[in-house]
Structure 1
């Protein structure tokens, strides 16, 4: 079983942003990003300061709190010393999740060091050699291993779900979801995991479904579909070799933008991102970051810049005549279909994460179909060609927009299409209903049209009728209808349909 199950080891340096910012456990320190506490020292926690707390609230809890603005590049530069030491002494390939937290496949290193318990001990000892506190954990998934690292535990093979079950739902990291689940009486991860997945998707949307997969001990993003990463790799070459950090950081930002554009165009997301530099002296240096579709171009730039600065300060980059960076490459790894994220619904001022949280919150309060997006589909009627898909769902692909669709209404298309057909009447000058014969001949010239909710108006012109025979082979679902376009004296134009002798309004043109 162990040979077939992927295992993950996670090493954690507690309060690393505080350490990188020059703080110690003996003084109350809070690392703040946009007025929100992202890390705090033990002394600050003793005063009541907590992560995700607003700065003003934190200062109210601790009168002598020292506030440090977060600098991710500085944290990456400081953490690179830890990563480099572990690569040289414990295991060769690591993934940086964030400064202070890293992960790696556990199977190979565990065999080398004589088992998973020995691997945990070796990791902790190696980090302690740098005078830093450390904890480590092993589990099947990254999330469970990171949680196990806080306790220094090893989760049995296949036991992620059972191990997570007693934890409160707040550990899943989705604050609004946890708040709502608590109101519903679902207070533990195990209770949440026992809910049917389809019900979770309908009630809580994409964000809730991802948390549900985590609660069940599954990978939050399915890995069934893999695509080549080489075609999405981006490279920038410097001629001559670049020695200035600022110029290199500018190139990283441009590369990250290109990479994200390529992945978005391919509908893909990368689990990991490798940043590598080819040096002028022929050497190659690389660092792997955990991505999972959550790192913006700026976040990638800050991480790579911090690593490059650390390599420069420690002399890894070299200082001889043949120094500098000849090429910079970003390579996405473990690509999968991006099935859990949506494009921006409103404008570029909001990040996708903010939009997802807001949409999921509305769906949780008002229902799964409370937030929808439009998808163009195929069909003969105008209403068939535009479908509203709930946020977080993937539209069905069985109705191709290009057709062919015999009998489809040609352009110009209606300005407004009714979700359901509105009852209507089309009468002649004598007040009799206008009928359509089998050979599409009108029983009389239309004189008046009445649409429920819009009143009655005089007909000034018409076109049609046009026959439509849908699903003629299906006795239950077949339809035989005719459509007409009618203009009226009040300036409106209607798309009418007659079925089994009754008139309906499908849409209007203005």
Structure 2
């Protein structure tokens, strides 16, 4: 209600919706006009407005006008889920899947803002699509309350014919896996789901990296895993950045002892040197003599190298 009406009711001692609803509607209208009568009806729980999903002529679009503007995305998420239920049923009936969605919010100040949601592969499942939409909305900073929502299937593709096999223990639903990845991105932020990738470099710290996972990998059949009898090689654990160390060598330059973080580590065996150099076009080219050293005290093989700056520990194998 308007501030003037609220102040008048307070002055009359009417402080609850029930006491306001007990007034005669004719007296309310005579004193405060149509605005007062509308407020009286709301106090009587008489609201002609209803939360409805208005379907347009386009079956791929659902527009919803909120009964009252929402300053947060929680009411919008509720409507997105309900809209996806209808849109996905329509797509499935036509044998189609959603390749791209667009979410358009109409703000109180009249502006319309749109964001696109594109799954890794076309899908016609509510849960993974909703997780993608939620991930987009959770990072959406609202500059004004939301007055209306439009959810549109902007691109479609033929639905996949892949079916599950109850007798295949390794089979999994790719859409379910992508929904789990979307939940992780929503909780941990963008770029939280990554996989290791190899890169073209001889320098160990540049020979690998991380790439964001956009699409869930297909499961490997169990019989294929059982048929693989290759023994895995030890994992290399590289430090965030190589650390300076002191090294005692013999007369031939073979490392015998390593002093690292106040500890003296005796080396039972050292294999090397292996000269690695290159990337002169880089901002930091390298030229190093690498040694792989067995340390019985740690039970691991240390990876050390020597360059113009001295000796460094880069990591270990376990």
Q: TM-score range by the shorter chain?
A: 0.3 to 0.5
What TM-score, normalized by structure 2, do the two folds share? Answer: 0.46
Q: Greater strand share, 1 or 2?
A: 2
| Structure whose CA Rg is larger | 2
